[in-house]
Structure 1
Amino acid sequence: MEAQELKERIIIDEKIIDILEALGMHSIKDKGNYITCGMPDGNNPKSTVIYKDNLHVEAYTRNIKDAYGHSDIISLVSFVNNTYFTESIKWICDVCGYDYYGQEVPQSRLAAWVRNMWKVVKEGKCDDDEKLLPINEDILHYFGRYGNPLFYKEGISYETQWEFELGYDLYYHMITIPIRDELGFLVGVKGRLFKEVVEEWESKYFYIQPCAKSKVLYGLHKTKPYILEKKEVIVFEAEKSVMKAWSHGIRNTVAIGSHCLSDTQVQKLTHLGVDIVIAYDEGVEIDPKTGKVDKNFYRKEFDKFLPSQKVYCIYDKSKKILDKKESPIDDIDKWYRLYNEYKFKVRG
């Protein structure tokens, strides 16, 4: 469920007090247009004010603002429960009896009024129409859980293949890569054709079970503790890169499953509250017409983040390290050289 949709439902269903009670807030008083209460570990019974018409929160004794500067019911839950923002949304859904992956509530005049009041402007990004939905876990029993020599040869250990639940589809003759969201729910299955040499007419990758890939940071359900510990997230393109890095003990990574970031992925990265290192494959930033670096492409990627967000880029400036279309993590020796010598700060 999107944050905006959730807040609309909370307002319409009058669930604010239910959330505050479940959160452990004390001295909860309904004052008409707003609600006052105290923090679970505080003595001031009026330290926190929640406005009922927009869920804005004034926390006079704590800084509950999230990475975007929002101070609302979701950031309050994140602060008190010490949870990632999507974990906070899921927690609120559970408290209110909502389905986190459910369909949007039918629009009412009140919902339309709330949306108009917030003046929400959507930029028409490609991922906004995709809805992330869980799929039945039982499908993984069909694919099994198998290591494969093809990925092992590419640098992904059998232990890592088991950790990331790789399997095999006998019908399509494909390695199966389960796609989970940051909450650990299965949301898709990606297939990789099981052959080293792929013909031009063949699809090397395709989704055996469709997935709203632009709303997923692959691997985050496993790598988030390491990201928070390192205070840095390394962003790769391909899921295999996350597994290769994991095999070498580099576990503060995610993959976007594409060549560019979606709005949702940018939001999820920003909410981690850590430095971001973009590590795309060699060749993505090359203008095919001129053979030169397409600075506009990278600039567009970096401009998706907040001006204050620290963003770095792994870029083979020497043009002597990476081969064409090679991922920075494909060769671990190359990776350490790139990370130590060619990591450039581009924002923040």
Structure 2
Amino acid sequence: MALDKDKIKDSLTIEDIKLILTDLGSDMKMADKLIFQTVCHGGSKHKLHYYESSKEFHCYTDCGKNMDVYQVVIQAKKLQGFDLTFYEAVKYIANLTGKHYSADSTLDKVNSHIIDDWEFINKYRKRNEINKKIEPIHNLNVFQLFSPYGHISWLNEGISHETMRKFNIGYYLRDDRIVIPHYDIESNLVGIRGRAMRKEDVDSGRKYMPLIVGKTQYSHQTMLNLYGLHKTKDAIKRLKKIALFESEKSVLMCEDFYGDNNFSAAICGSSLSRFHVQLVLSLDVEEVFLCFDKMYRDSDSKEAEIYAKKIMKFANMLSPYCTVYVLWDDFEWIDYREAPCDRGKKVLEDFMRAKYEVKTINEGEIV
């Protein structure tokens, strides 16, 4: 359940403010004035003023800043050696004051109304083996045409040379595309995709496409495979969890974040197939994290509601078998079309802490 930061802040009384500042190690100069010790930067002077009308603090000494109560908490905790995220600051105040106002997230609303489609849900309760497999590519001579070095754009986004070498990422100068080989779980090459670097290719919807070299198109059915499993399956099995992203780039970023503990894979699209589900279940995971791109501009919009219904249907394909979490952006941590990892490791871990658990649904029961 998301916490409504605005409702909580607006509901804070003078006594709540005093309680928060006292808990942060501050004290008041005079009982009849809201002037506190400057815990925002560690000073000893009483120069931190609180203005009830605006719900804002102002530090009249070294800081010289206007801050709301969440910013004061983050600053004070940082001086105490705790690097709080914004979400953790909201939770700290909610727990301290007892004001747990729900944000009524779009994802919550959808989750409580999606259980009418029992035929859709129940057909994923059977764990039938899937026999379809992608034919491996045996002729690897094509790699001689690619530069083995990573593209500067991905290096600038934080994907290291080491990670690109590990996943055999290259560059095809003729088509100006980053080369992304796809392997199945047994490390057989099954396809090669290219990430376009030309603006006209991106603008025309050809950002990610199967690579074409000469008369050969190195395409494969992405619905039958999860990108990165050939490298991350050991961590997934050991940790008994998997994070599913949309793009290959997210898996590469997680490799640099977590190394041998990278438990991610990518569906390489925006739809979770029953073949993806079977692959996930074959790894005997206990937890699944759906880390899909943010495809809504306003979390309270119809656009967000439609997208939430889509994500919840994916979640319910897996929830009968394991615990499923959805990473949903209630706090505007990322922009439209960005993935939860695109802003770095810290933001991704903020998402992980604020994740939504999707309960297993039994017929006739609302959770």
TM-score bracket relative to the smaller structure: 0.5 to 0.7
1:291 match = 303
Match of 2:365 in 1: none
In the alignment, the residues of structure 2 paired with residue 289 and residue 316 of structure 1 have an alpha-carbon distance, to the nearest angstrom, of 13
> For 1:280 and 1:196, how far apart are their aligned partners in 2?
24
Distance apart, 1:196 and its partner CA = 6.7
Q: How does 1:197-276 map to 2 (within 5 A)?
A: 200-201=203-204, 203-208=206-211, 209-249=218-258, 251-274=262-285, 275-276=287-288
Q: State the TM-score, normalized to the length of structure 1.
A: 0.58
1:311–1:347 Cα contact (<8 Å) kept? yes
The one-letter amino acid of 1:272's match is L
Partners of 2:200 and 2:333 in 1: how far apart?
Answer: 24
Contact 2:195 2:208 in 1 (8 A): yes
How far apart are 1:197 and its partner, in Å? 8.0
Name which of 350, 357, 367 aligns with 1:337: 350
- Count of matched residue positions in the alignment of Structure 1 and Structure 2: 222
Q: Is the 8 A contact 2:163 2:252 kept in 1?
A: yes
Which amino acid counterpart does residue 203 of structure 2 have in structure 1? E
Structure with max Cα Rg: 2
- AA partner of residue 236 (structure 2): I
Superposed displacement of residue 198, structure 1: 5.7
Aligned CA distance change for structure 1 residues 149 and 134 (closer, same or farther; 3 Å): same
Q: Which letter does structure 2 place at the counterpart of 1:258?
A: G
Instruction: Pick closer, same or farther for the CA change 1:287–1:261 going to 2, 3 Å.
Output: farther
**1:142 deviation in Å?**
2.4
Distance 1:199 1:210 in 2: 19
Q: Is the 8 A contact 2:299 2:329 kept in 1?
A: no
5+ residue gaps, structure 1: 1-120, 123-127
CA distance in structure 2 between the aligned counterparts of 1:147 and 1:343, rounded to whole angstroms:
33
Question: Matched residues, percent identical?
Answer: 29
Residue 304 to residue 185, structure 1, CA distance change in 2 (3 Å): same
Distance between the aligned counterparts of 2:329 and 2:351, measured in 1? 7
Whether contact under 8 Å (2:182, 2:189) holds in the other structure is yes
Q: Which residue of 2 aligns with 1:132?
A: 134
Aligned letter for 1:260? S
State the distance in 2 between where 1:315 and 1:289 align: 14
Match of 1:98 in 2: none
CA-to-aligned-CA distance 1:229-263 (integer Å, 9 cap, x gap): 22211110000000011011251100000101111
CA distance in 2, matches of 1:292, 1:242: 25
Amino acid in the other structure paired with 2:134: L
Equivalent residues of 1:156, 1:243 under 8 A apart = yes
- Provide runs of 4+ in structure 1 moved above 6 Å: 284-289
TM-score by length of 2: 0.56
Relative distance call for 1:344 and 1:288 in structure 2 (3 A) is closer
Q: Partner of 1:48 in structure 2?
A: none
Deviation at 1:266, TM superposition (A): 0.4
Deviation at 1:296, TM superposition (A): 2.1
**1:291 shift after superposition:** 3.1
Distance 1:343 1:213 in 2: 27
Q: Which moved more, 1:327-336 or 1:134-143?
A: 134-143
Matching residue within 161, 164, 184 for 1:161: 164
Q: Which residue of 1 aligns with 2:175?
A: 172
Q: Within the alignment, does 1:315 sit opposite 2:324 as a pair?
A: no
Cα distance in 1, alignment partners of residues 311 and 153 from structure 2: 32
- Deviation of 1:313 after TM superposition, in Å, equals 0.9
Equivalent residue for 2:292, pick from 259, 268, 280: 280
One-letter code aligned to 1:268:
L
> Residue type matched to 1:214 in 2?
M
CA distance in 1: counterparts of 2:276 and 2:342, whole angstroms:
23
Render the CA deviation track for 1:148-169: whole Å, top value 9, x for unaligned.
1011111211111111101122
Distance across 1 between alignment mates of 2:232 and 2:325:
19
Matched with 1:84 is none
Distance (Å, rounded) in 2 between the aligned partners of 1:286 and 1:302: 22
Structure 2 stretches lacking a partner, 5+ long: 1-122, 125-129, 212-217, 361-367
CA distance 1:258–1:221, change in 2 (3 Å): same
Which residue identity is paired with 2:231?
Answer: K
Aligned residue type for 1:329: C
Of 176, 196, 203, which residue of structure 2 is paired with 1:193? 196
CA 284–129 in structure 1, closer or farther in 2 if over 3 Å, else same: farther
Is this contact kept in 2: 1:286–1:293, CA < 8 A? no
Partners of 1:292 and 1:203 in 2: CA distance? 25
For the residue of structure 2 that corresponds to 1:280, the secondary structure is coil
Cα distance in structure 2, aligned partners of 1:282 and 1:202: 18
**Counterpart contact for 2:297–2:335, Cα < 8 Å:** no
